[in-house]
Amino acid sequence: MKTLYSVAFVLFISASLSFTSKKVQKENTLTATFIEVTEDDYFKFITIDKKEVLFYDVHEDIEISLYDDDNLNKKFTLTWVEKEIELMDEEGDLTGEKKKVKSITVLKLIK
């Protein structure tokens, strides 16, 4: 019986630590016009105040394709987070160097 309590206690502590160690990502929202996919495969948007914003990727659940030319020059509301990626060299090998990028999590067309 003592062993059962010990195992339950260890599992409880492990579960508690796993929930507290998750990093909370700040979500940001903006309204902008989609301009193009750049040569480096970034998604380029221009805000109302003419600020250029580049996004690294789009969440896989988003059904709108920014590679579709029909979406050029259309206005969107975007929700995005900043994440860290590891860079690759020309051969596709990881370099160990990291970079912070913007990632779109929600994309809605404004009609």
25-109 fold: OB fold (Dihydrolipoamide Acetyltransferase, E2P) (2.40.50)
pLDDT digits 0-9 by tens, 10-42? 455 655 555 544 556 789 999 999 999 999 999
pLDDT digits 0-9 by tens, 52-85? 999 999 999 999 999 999 999 999 999 999 999 8
Q: Residue 12 and residue 42: Cα distance in Å, rounded?
A: 43
Return the domain boundaries, the chain. Answer: 25-109
Under 8 Å CB-to-CB from 110, ≥6 apart: which residues?
Answer: 31, 74, 75, 76, 77
